[in-house]
Amino acid sequence: MFDTSLLPSYNAVTMKKQDIEELDIEIDADTGDDIVAEESELSVASLKAKLKQLRTELTKAKEERNENLTGWQRAKADLVNFRRNVEEDRFRDSARQKGKIIQSILPTLDSFESATADKSWQDVDPHWREGVERIRNQLTSSLEKDGLTTFGAIGEPFDPSMHECMSVTATDDEAQDNIIVQVLQKGYRIGNEVIRPAKVIVYQQV
């Protein structure tokens, strides 16, 4: 008969089986922790890399924004300067056109000035004289509305950009040197644009 005592007991087999299962659970648990740790490390590294990429893109975006802002500001300044230059050119062209028209009228004004400045003017019939003076005043008033002004007066310093010296008068007074002593013909301008320089006689110290 077969000796059953040589066989391992059921409990022993069961215990070994339990030990094996527990060992498998421990191995699985250890392996699982390692996997989670590895996944966590990969996740952090991925986030760091993504953050670095985002920072790089943000820096680049800021640089592009600054470049675009600088370009826009430069373009805006150029546009403002262009408009100002156009306006200045338009004003100068308008003044030149007015100047050409007024230059053709100046001889008439000179004739009025010469006639009314003559001593014999007071001997003219008062009604006729008043009528002529009224016409002159209407003409000068209309031209003044277009910006026409006169210049050139006795006692003013001589300015070659505005005055034309026709002759000089000697003086030993230093204070009178280069001072206008007589105006032969008035000067006219529109704004800062000289239409005609004033013809003058100037003191010159000797």
Q: In terms of DSSP bridges, do strands 193-196 and 148-151 run parallel, antiparallel, or are they unpaired?
A: unpaired
**For residue 145, pLDDT beyond 70:** yes
Q: Find the mean pLDDT for residues 3-24.
A: 48
In the prediction, which pLDDT does 6 show?
Answer: 47
**Are 202 and 158 contacting, i.e. CB atoms less than 8 angstroms apart?**
yes
Q: pLDDT tens, 162-205?
A: 999 999 999 999 999 999 999 999 999 987 888 899 999 999 99
Q: Could you tell me the residue ranges of all domains in the chain?
A: 148-206
H-state helical runs in the chain = 10-117, 126-145
Query: Which strand ranges, in their side-by-side order, compose the sheet holding 187-190?
Result: 148-151, 187-190, 193-196
CATH classification of 148-206 is 2.60.260.20, yes or no? no
Its pTM stands at 0.54
By CB atoms closer than 10 A (0-12, 13-18, 19+), residue 181 is middle
Q: pLDDT tens, 23-39?
A: 444 544 455 455 455 55
In the prediction, which pLDDT does 37 show?
Answer: 52
In the prediction, which pLDDT does 188 show?
Answer: 92
Q: Find the mean pLDDT for residues 73-84.
A: 87
Q: Find the mean pLDDT for residues 124-139.
A: 90
**For residue 76, pLDDT beyond 80:** yes
Confidence band (pLDDT; 50, 70, 90) for 55? confident
In the prediction, which pLDDT does 15 show?
Answer: 47
